[in-house]
Amino acid sequence: MKMELSEQARQLRNEMMRKYRKAHRDQIREYNRRYWERKADPVGAKVRQLSKAGSSQRQIAEQLNISLGTVNNILNRS
């Protein structure tokens, strides 16, 4: 759902976001780094692929030789 804002509201929002990004550069950089590292995770991608194919969490853990908890964590965060 796209939010429709007036021009004045849009300008105010953009100004506030610029101030926030400027004041929190390091936190934003770290967030982006973690986000893309998670997306590039080959084990996570394989776990999600097997899950979509219908494999149980236990089957995935045995097939990839990782713990059931790791499989659960990967599926819960995606």
Residue ranges making up the domain that contains 48: 42-78
Mean pLDDT of 48-60: 95
Q: Are residues 58 and 30 in the same domain?
A: no
Domain total in the chain: 2
**Any idea what DSSP says for residue 40?**
T
Q: Are residues 34 and 47 in the same domain?
A: no
What integer pLDDT is reported at residue 60 of this predicted model?
96
3-state secondary structure of 20: helix
Q: Are residues 77 and 52 in the same domain?
A: yes
Is 2 within a domain?
no
Kindly report the backbone phi and psi dihedral angles of residue 63, in degrees, each rounded to the nearest multiple of 5, phi listed first.
-65, -40
Q: Are residues 30 and 50 in the same domain?
A: no
Mean pLDDT of 70-74: 93
What integer pLDDT is reported at residue 41 of this predicted model?
82
Q: Are residues 35 and 48 in the same domain?
A: no
Q: Are residues 31 and 54 in the same domain?
A: no
What integer pLDDT is reported at residue 53 of this predicted model?
96
Q: Does residue 78 have a pLDDT over 70?
A: no
